Structure 1
Amino acid sequence: MVNVKKRTVPPVIRQTEALLRRLPQNHPKRDTIEMDINKRWAGYRGEQALDYFLGFLPFSTYRIFHDLRLSVHGKSFQVDTLILTPQVGFLIEVKNLAGVITVDDESGQFTVVKNGIIKRYQNPLAQVNRQLSQLKQWLHVHEVYTYPLLPLVAISNPNAELNFKDTLSVPITHLDVTVERIKKLHASYENKKSFSLTPLEQSLLQKHRPYYSDILQTFSIPSSHIQTGIRCPTCKEYSMTREKLSWECPACTTRSRMAHRLAVADYFLLYGSTLTNQTCQHFLGLDSRHAISKLLSRMPLSYTGSTNALTYVRPSNIEELIRQ
């Protein structure tokens, strides 16, 4: 098993966390945002659980891509986990659900019963089939016409009870069963035509674009509600001031040389892919063009423009800024 594109924390999780960090403690939407974060982290942990089981795939011919976001005919689509072999590919949708899971393949109704409460969810069969259709279109655009792709749905919670009366059009199984099914299906294709995966791998990596949402619009929060400044890593107040070559918090006397990195990350996460010296001055609360230029020049940021009018670009890996 070769992990061609490793799984990383989805940018939308980091965006939502930045939004929560920058809202006042008494903001009326904090509870809603916290619930959204918890839900997204649960989904991500489910995908990580799949990664553990995928590690047991025995053949080096398995090529795994995580969190692919591609576009075809002007529309973007996301693939959580794509596994390629020279003979066949597998598209996997992971759901982290607890309770008794029931699905009606004909009506499309997907329900979970937990503690006597019935909840209806978006049907993962429809989701994975839609992704399959879009990925096939993408392959056709890139002149790959006969490569077989098989959809699968995996339930990451081992305590979930799968209650299906009939055989489903797309298998829904627990993670361990999903991996065993992949191995058996791959074995059934081993005598089929082989594809050269290298050009396809390169195209997938080159065309991938990470997804950043307009997070303020998502939660209908005006920019005026966002707290600016440098957040103290100890007391969490937005009160740090620049003292020589460091940031100092007057509330708890904490000092930090790197506290501005998270603030710059927050700006990219909340407002977009570019940052200028002027907007950075405003967001960090530091009225010194020279000081801002020195801070930004020492960060892993690329830029465009002339010396006096640089525009800094959000890094492809935002985690580099979040880590202090």
Structure 2
Amino acid sequence: MIKKTRTKPLKLLKFEVLLERILPSHSQIQNIESNYRKYLAGFRGELTLDYYLSELQKDNYHIFHDLRIPRYDNNQLFFQLDALILHPRFCIIIEVKNLIGNLYFDHQYDQIVRTREGLDETFPDPVNQVGIQKKHLSHWLFRHKCPLIPIHTLVVITNPKSYIRISPKYGSNAQKIIRGRTLPSKIKEIEKLESEVILQKRDIKRISSLLLKEHTSHNPDILKLFNIHRNEILTGVFCPNCTQITLIRIKRNWLCTRCSKTYMDAHKKAIIDYALLFSPVVKNKDVRLFLHMQSQSSVKKLLYSMKLKPTGSRKAATYTIPLPK
């Protein structure tokens, strides 16, 4: 049973909007694209994991995708789980790696060494990463007075083209490193090991509710991350058919002067773009400037058409644009 579905992360959405709207000549474009590709590869790996998890018996397994929960020792810090499986007898934390190339799990230096096209690159050891996540989850469950349940950890390599080697000093931890296709059978092994029912239905319901309540999407300031100024962002309503061509407002439609197509709701994406890049809390003036509109009443109608209602006094009224969670 899927308790929390996997959706495209807020950070990934911000990357996509930034690449659409940053000035084409900006010096940071290559850096942004490189970071975007890495983040997108990780997300695609997690989607691959979801395929294998779909084989599990739905009634016994409660699956949470992409959780980000405040830490027990500092609620300003978070621990993130690519996937969490809750079972009446145990739970499993899964860390996903979608790396291609020759992968060497180096126990001595706490790293993965990835060799690809003759180049070596290092990554933190995901076995240790998921071990830290286990510690945080254990303390989180204890703080919420949940029953003490065995927590297992797995590192799943989802890219079928990767070649895996593991340091002989890894010991029993090597068994935690598996390929995506073996995930269902590995979970079945764990199920055979854990025979005692610890979580009743009411416990699972309570834990599920707490996890969903405390989940907080990662919402970084993408412009600050790459030191980009607001005036380096392209504004306007873009034509869905012609890349980066700004539409003009004619009566109740948006017209593209290149392809001559008209759109009624093209402003909706532009308004969401503003929220992703700058702030989800906007004033009428902010929207007017971004959409290249002059009429305050016309912008107000557009915002109302998106079911966005103002809060605050008339002159200082703001609208809150909902972002994906």
For normalisation by structure 2, the TM-score amounts to 0.91
**Preserved CA contact (<8 Å) 2:92 2:151:** yes
After superposition, residues 171-210 of structure 1 pair within 5 angstroms as 171-195=176-200, 196-210=203-217
Tell me: CA distance 1:148–1:273, structure 2 relative to 1, closer, same or farther (3 Å).
Answer: farther
**Preserved CA contact (<8 Å) 1:300 1:315:** no
Corresponding position of 2:13: 14
Corresponding position of 2:267: 260
Corresponding position of 2:41: 42
Deviates more, 1:162-171 or 1:14-23: 162-171
**Preserved CA contact (<8 Å) 2:312 2:318:** yes
Letter in 1 for 2:278: Y
Letter in 2 for 1:143: K
Matched residue SS, 1:304? coil
In structure 2, C-alpha distance between the alignment counterparts of 1:201 and 1:70, rounded to whole Å: 12
State the shift of 1:261 in Å: 0.9
In structure 1, C-alpha distance between the alignment counterparts of 2:183 and 2:310, rounded to whole Å: 44
Tell me: CA distance 1:159–1:236, structure 2 relative to 1, closer, same or farther (3 Å).
Answer: closer
Deviates more, 1:133-142 or 1:187-196: 187-196
Corresponding position of 1:297: 304
Corresponding position of 1:85: 87
State the shift of 1:307 in Å: 6.0
Unaligned residue ranges in structure 1 (runs of 5+): 319-324
Deviations 1:27-52 (A, max 9, x none): 22222212222221111111011100
Q: Does 1:281 align with 2:288?
A: yes
Matched residue SS, 2:173? coil
Corresponding position of 1:211: 218
Deviations 1:49-105 (A, max 9, x none): 110010111351100001111112221222111110111111001000112211122
State the shift of 1:262 in Å: 1.1
State the shift of 1:315 in Å: 1.6
Question: Which one of the candidate residues 164, 185, 188 is aligned to 1:162?
Answer: 164
Letter in 2 for 1:34: E
State the shift of 1:267 in Å: 0.8
For normalisation by structure 1, the TM-score amounts to 0.92
In structure 2, C-alpha distance between the alignment counterparts of 1:16 and 1:134, rounded to whole Å: 29
Corresponding position of 1:321: none
Aligned positions, number: 317
State the shift of 1:164 in Å: 1.4
Corresponding position of 1:67: 66
Deviations 1:95-116 (A, max 9, x none): 0011221112243121112233
Matched residue SS, 2:193? helix
Matched residue SS, 2:148? coil
**Preserved CA contact (<8 Å) 2:107 2:167:** no
Question: Which one of the candidate residues 272, 280, 284 is aligned to 2:279?
Answer: 272
Tell me: CA distance 1:303–1:92, structure 2 relative to 1, closer, same or farther (3 Å).
Answer: farther
Letter in 2 for 1:189: E
State the shift of 1:124 in Å: 1.1
State the shift of 1:236 in Å: 2.0
Q: Does 1:110 align with 2:117?
A: no
**Preserved CA contact (<8 Å) 1:16 1:215:** yes
After superposition, residues 300-319 of structure 1 pair within 5 angstroms as 300-301=307-308, 304-306=311-313, 309-317=316-324
**Preserved CA contact (<8 Å) 1:229 1:283:** yes
**Preserved CA contact (<8 Å) 1:105 1:168:** no
**Preserved CA contact (<8 Å) 2:10 2:324:** no
Deviations 1:182-215 (A, max 9, x none): 1110221133433420000011111111111110
Corresponding position of 1:101: 103
Matched residue SS, 2:161? coil
Corresponding position of 1:32: 31
Corresponding position of 1:119: 121
